[in-house]
Amino acid sequence: MNRLLVIEDEAVILKALTRLLERNHYSVTPADSVEEAIKHEPRGYDLVLADLRLPGVPGTEIIEHADPVPVVIMTSHASVRSAVDAMRAGAIDYVAKPFDHDELLIVIERSLMQNRMKSQNTALLMDMERLLPAPALLSCTDIGVYYEKIRAQTNPEPNVFIAGERGVGREWLARLLHWHGNRRNGPFVIADLPLLRHKPLAPVLLGADEGANRHGMLQAAHGGTLVIRQPELLSHDLQKTLAERFTQRGLQGVKTGRVYNVRVVMVSDIPLSTLIEQDAITTELADLFLDNHVVLSPLREQHEKLGELVNALVQHHCRKHNISPTEPNPSAIAAVQAYRWDGNAQELDRSIERAVLAAQGRSIEARDLGLGVLENDSDSAQNRDLSLDEYFRYFVLRHQAELSETELANRLGISRKALWERRQKIGLRRQ
């Protein structure tokens, strides 16, 4: 039940208002002045209904005390000026006396709905901020490099095609471009085509002339960003339709011709050039993204950055979970550098978060990462979850600081020449 604070100095009107609102399932607290209303803690209500002319100070004075609770002003002066002044003071709406009961109820419900939508939008923005990548992933991976490159362009909001293996952070980059641009307060809509393939994609994306799909994702993303995952799943006809509807201001709707102010980001496992060669993307659609085509590198190609990245992610997740600052020991760093990371940056991020929670303030060890590496790493049988190359890399990185090449070879059960050859094969030079 919504709680209303009603401020009215005329006892007869206050009593009638209270009965009307309670009959319509509102909980009402009456007050005859702004001073009395302040004593009721107006921020604890869902809406404040206040008369403009009150003894002492006018009803608009309650607005700053109630914020962010919406305030509807009642005025016996049904003039445009009084309404404008009330709205300028911060009122969400106004109603003129004498008012019709139905009109008053409509204004109250509309104001409550607007406030709920505002609260939901605030919550969504907070949730989107929570889903942004850790700052460490920006400074130590391709995500940050391409993010800065795109933002530095003359066109501040280009449509972008982001390619790369699963887990490299394609959607993270899309969220960053949306969050730190002019569309931050607009919608962020994801068209997840693999999940939508059983539906007619044209009305889902562009809307239809009538029926349940009259408003598609294009309309929902107006003023914000539309992310299309796996665009190669679109038929060639629909791709050409999309390309035809692109304008300098956005995307054009189906029936009305209205232009929707939408930034489009396409995300795929496959680079745009390959999709063109495979005839999976039409040239008409591809041409729109050729100047802003990003291919994020997999994490296994960025081994030189892993040590720095692990340390930064550990500190990030310690702060996130309010855990005493800790650090990874050499075995954990070596395990990360040895692992293949087929899940890329997202897999590493989750592994580091898991390790931080498992360690609970102590130094993070290899076994905390859940990569199949145990602390007693001299027993290769206990490291069976790693491939031979991964185990070799892990063991060498873990021990090369304190062992000579001969000692390393002996511990691995191979000749010094074999050790050198394997180092060359996997690109692991002695540091």
Strands 250-252 and 259-260: antiparallel
Q: Which amino acid is at 316?
A: H
As annotated, the residues of the chain forming the CATH 3.40.50.300 domain(s) are 131-297
**Residue pointed to by tokens 């709680």:** 3
As annotated, the residues of the chain forming the CATH 1.10.8.60 domain(s) are 301-426
| Architecture (CATH level 2) of domain 3-124 | 3-Layer(aba) Sandwich (3.40)
Q: Give the C-alpha separation, 290 to 283, whole Å.
A: 10
| Architecture (CATH level 2) of domain 301-426 | Orthogonal Bundle (1.10)
Q: What is the pLDDT of residues 289-336, one digit of tens each?
A: 988 899 999 988 887 788 889 999 999 999 888 998 888 988 888 888
pLDDT for the residue numbered 14:
92
Residue 70's pLDDT band (boundaries 50, 70, 90)?
A: very high
Residue with the bigger pLDDT between 38 and 136: it is 38
- Who contacts 79 (Cβ-Cβ below 8 Å, separation ≥6)? none
Q: Is the per-residue pLDDT at 194 higher than 60?
A: yes
Q: What is the pLDDT of residues 346-363, one digit of tens each?
A: 889 999 999 999 888 889
- Who contacts 360 (Cβ-Cβ below 8 Å, separation ≥6)? 323
Q: Give the C-alpha separation, 241 to 285, whole Å.
A: 9
The region of weakest confidence among 69-78, 160-169, 203-212, 378-387 is: 378-387
Q: Give the C-alpha separation, 290 to 272, whole Å.
A: 8
Closest of 357, 372, 370, 347 to residue 317, by C-alpha: 357
H/E stretch holding 95: strand 93-96
Q: What is the pLDDT of residues 173-189, one digit of tens each?
A: 999 889 888 888 888 99
Residue 105's pLDDT band (boundaries 50, 70, 90)?
A: very high
| Architecture (CATH level 2) of domain 131-297 | 3-Layer(aba) Sandwich (3.40)
- Who contacts 217 (Cβ-Cβ below 8 Å, separation ≥6)? 189, 191, 204, 205, 226
As annotated, the residues of the chain forming the CATH 3.40.50.2300 domain(s) are 3-124
Residue with the bigger pLDDT between 120 and 178: it is 178
Chain mean pLDDT for the chain? 84
252 contacts 206 by C-beta, under 8 angstroms: no
Residue 63's pLDDT band (boundaries 50, 70, 90)?
A: very high
Q: Is the per-residue pLDDT at 91 higher than 50?
A: yes
Helix runs in 221-282, H state only: 236-245, 272-277
Q: Is the per-residue pLDDT at 380 higher than 50?
A: no
